[in-house]
Structure 1
Amino acid sequence: MTGDDLKLLRERRGLTQTQMAAFVNELTGRRYDKQRLSKWETGREPLPRDVLGRLLLLSLEQPATEAPRAGTTIAIGLQKGGTAKTATSINVAFMLARSGNRVLLVDADPQGNATVHVGVPQTDVVALTEQGRVLYHALMGKAKLAEVIRPTSVEGLDVVPSSIALASADTELPGNLTNAQTAMAEMLDAVRGDYDFILIDCAPNLGAVTINALTAADYVLIPCQAEPHAILGVNAFLDTVTKIQRRLNPNLRVLGVLPTMLNPRQTQDRSSLDDIGRLWGEDYRVFPPVPRATIYAQAAGANVITLDADIGAPGVESYAAIAGALLKATGRIRESSDAA
């Protein structure tokens, strides 16, 4: 968010600089004044990280509407592990939910990391698996999706939990000839009207469950670590997306590529970021990179969403840009409300 973005946000809310400073103080518990706000707007001082995160959320908020929910579905995937797919899924879901949307997070990875990171304890995951109330059971038609969905501690955000049981679906789905590739789409149809957005955290492979996710999705977002091996996997993944578009889901669109885990002080990382822009920047949107930061590992270790623990965490600009792109693509905010 630039100084001009801050000024536009203030003017859109009809506030003077003094009133905006008071509003920021309410959000943060700080004591900023008109002079400090003026320095932010003119770029003489950078926005403090916690102020930045809260204002980015504010820029994504939309007025209440009676428009029906459409369950716009976004698959987050790449067939390589360690590219921050789960961090991307849960933090984008958080931004969308905190800006006033109803969001469903579908954990489509047998590792179940997204499930525990949004607050479902591992002991509960074991119990839910034994009770037949995880994604595997809903996907295979052994349970209704409504019986599997669980609320999280974030208002407006629900989760479809996953467990190691989902690994069996990659071999069982191909044997189900009636809906081997559309099972997830049919499963989600039952709840699309209850949510504004549905985010699917895909496994790091191109198995049957990931193909189902792409077949069910309106958009696909590709997190790509700023390193050569991850970059090599993007073309193969895009080839798969093209096949899905041609054979199963002609409405699937690429939302963009998200560079992740960037250390700008490393020459190799900077070179990889340049490669990402050179290879795909003309055809797809390349979102602002998410920097490598210890807070993501700390949040993962504590089983919390990073931005819920620290709204000013490095990368909040990237996740706000993705949320803003989705809100604009679905007509929920005007072009002038771009959070990027």
Structure 2
Amino acid sequence: MLLELAASRRVLFFGGKGGVGKTTVAAAVALAAADAGRRVLLVSTDPAHNLGHLWERPVGPEPVRVAPGLDALEIDPERSVDRHLSEVEDALRRMMPREMGGEIEKHMALSRDAPGMHEAALLERIAETVETGLGGYDLLVFDTAPSGHTARLMALPELISAWTEGMLHRQERSARFGEALRNFGRDEGMGDRIIGRDPDAPVPPDDRVARIRGILHRRRHRFAHLRETMTDAERTAFVIVLAAERLPVLETIEFEAQLRRSGVHVGGLVVNKRAPADAGDFLAHRRAQEARYLDMLAEALPALPVQEIPLQPDEVVGGEALRGFARVLGVS
């Protein structure tokens, strides 16, 4: 199942409950695809990044080569917020009158801790990574945050796109109204007296309108592209990684429903750290217990393919260990 997905898709998301091995599975699939000749970018969106620990080398917010044909990066939420707010503040300062500088600073300080700011900034960075990454790589592999956070993130492109459309609609209505007022009293300057003119403004009023419209159009295009990519089952698949335990199984069933409501195609389920059947009574008992939970999973999600990965005797750290783990996955 993973072999087919890695070979046939352009974007793969790996998600699930925390601690089930998402990062290891995602990294092994990415490495196997790179070894097969694809140009691959491995991206971590989890604030608790583990790619650097897994590869035993620094991995940061810019792509670094971790293996032949495979680059990796970790999206830093705080840096994403800083970058997002810096761009917004720069745009505001260029478009607003100089005497508004103090108000802009207050607004930006309050915005940093506004609800949803981190998610919006992270989503913008993901959208940018998808937009640019598809031009330079054959496959993008995302190692995502735990399922609750990721489910909300997957629903955001549609919400932000709708918000942007509303802003564009209101801005266009405002622009038409402003133009009507200016035309109404153009000879006597009546329109300027009604609307107000700032002779010291760094950007003329008409240019401000054009810049606002340009920013909104760019955002609409970027999030529309992300939404289109995420919901295209031919290009993108989401793989849910889980353990054969009660809570991960129940969370997986709910997570799949949330992704489906967001239009995201779930390509399959990976049951990680499956207890072996031939390693003594203790693990045999545990395997039988796991089987009951997997029966529950199969009853709830009968159409999804399931791949089981046995519990490994050693910790998976470093490139060679990942290649060995990829052989266990059957993707190399």
Interval of TM-score (by shorter of Structure 1 and Structure 2): 0.5 to 0.7
1:77 aligns with 2:88: no
| Contact kept in structure 2, 1:60 and 1:99, CA below 8 Å | no
Mapped to 1, the partners of 2:34 and 2:322 lie a distance apart of: 16
Q: Which residue of 1 aligns with 2:140?
A: 198
Are the counterparts in 1 of residues 15 and 146 from structure 2 also a CA contact under 8 Å?
yes
Alpha-carbon shift at residue 311 of structure 1 (Å): 4.3
Query: 1:117 and 1:176 mapped to 2: Cα distance?
Result: 25
Aligned 8 A contact 2:242 2:272 in 1: yes
What is residue 238 of structure 2 aligned with on the other side? 220
User: Are residues 1:284 and 2:304 paired?
Assistant: yes
Kindly, what percent of the aligned residue pairs are identical?
24
CA distance 1:61–1:254, change in 2 (3 Å) = closer
Going from structure 1 to structure 2, the CA distance change for 1:162 and 1:115 (only over 3 Å counts) comes to: farther
Amino acid in structure 2 at the alignment position of 1:259: V
* CA distance in structure 1 between the aligned counterparts of 2:55 and 2:9, rounded to whole angstroms: 20
Counterpart of 1:111 in 2: which secondary structure?
A: coil
Aligned match of 2:258? 240
Give the secondary-structure state (helix, strand or coil) at the position aligned to 1:207.
Answer: helix
Tell me if the contact between 2:77 and 2:122 (Cα under 8 Å) persists in the aligned partners.
Answer: no
Q: Does the CA contact (< 8 Å) of 1:108 and 1:210 recur in 2? A: no
**TM-score by structure 1 length?**
0.54
Deviation string 1:94-121 (CA, Å, 9 cap, x unpaired) is 1111111111000111111023312423
Once residues 214 and 238 of structure 1 are traced to their aligned partners in structure 2, the CA distance between those partners, rounded to angstroms, is 16
Supply the distance in 2 between the matched residues of 1:84 and 1:180 (Cα, whole angstroms): 22
Q: Does 1:189 align with 2:103?
A: no
1:187 offset after TM fit, Å? 3.3
Residues of 2 paired with 1:74 and 1:173: CA distance? 28
Q: What corresponds to 1:260 in structure 2?
A: 272
Within the alignment, does 1:115 sit opposite 2:52 as a pair?
yes
Q: Does 1:150 align with 2:168?
A: no
- Indicate how the Cα distance of structure 1 residues 213 and 85 shifts in structure 2: closer, same or farther if over 3 A, else same: farther
Q: Could you report, residue by residue, the CA deviation over 1:20-58 in whole angstroms, capped at 9, with x for unpaired residues?
A: xxxxxxxxxxxxxxxxxxxxxxxxxxxxxxxxxxxx99x
Question: Is the 1:182–1:212 contact (alpha carbons within 8 Å) kept by the matching residues of 2?
Answer: no
Cα distance change of structure 1 residues 155 and 263 upon mapping to structure 2, 3 Å threshold: same
What is the match of residue 67 of structure 1?
A: none
Q: Is the counterpart of residue 309 in structure 1 residue 321 in structure 2? A: yes
Give, in whole Å, the separation in 1 of the partners of 2:274 and 2:122: 37
Structure with the higher fraction of residues in helix conformation: 2
Letter in 1 for 2:116: P
Q: 1:312 to 1:181 in 2, by over 3 A?
A: closer
CA contact (8 A) 1:76 1:220 kept: yes
2:245–2:293 Cα contact (<8 Å) kept:
yes
Instruction: Check whether the contact 2:45–2:143 (CA below 8 A) recurs between aligned residues.
Output: yes
Residues 93 and 199, structure 1, Cα contact 8 Å, conserved in 2: yes
Cα pair distance change 1:204/1:261, threshold 3 Å: same
What's the offset of the Cα at 1:84?
1.1
Partners of 1:231 and 1:196 in 2: how far apart? Answer: 32
Q: Offset of 1:240 from its aligned partner?
A: 1.8
| Residue aligned with 2:240, SS | strand
1:97-176 equivalent positions in 2, closer than 5 A: 97-121=34-58, 134=61, 148-152=62-66, 154-162=67-75, 165=78, 174-175=116-117
Mapped to 2, the partners of 1:191 and 1:212 lie a distance apart of 18
Deviations 1:230-249 (A, max 9, x none): 0010122112202321xxxx
**Whose RCO is larger (CA < 8 A, sep 6+)?**
2
* Structure 2: segments with no counterpart, 5+ residues: 83-111, 158-225, 231-235, 277-283
Contact 1:150 1:161 in 2 (8 A): no
Q: TM-score, normalised by structure 2?
A: 0.55
Quick one: distance in 1 between partners of 2:33 and 2:81? Answer: 31
Partner of 2:42: helix, strand, or coil?
strand
Q: Cα RMSD between the aligned structures?
A: 3.8
Aligned length: 217
Check conservation: 2:40, 2:141, Cα contact below 8 A. yes
Q: Is the 8 A contact 2:268 2:304 kept in 1?
A: yes
Shift of 1:206: 2.7
Q: Which residue of 2 aligns with 1:275?
A: 296
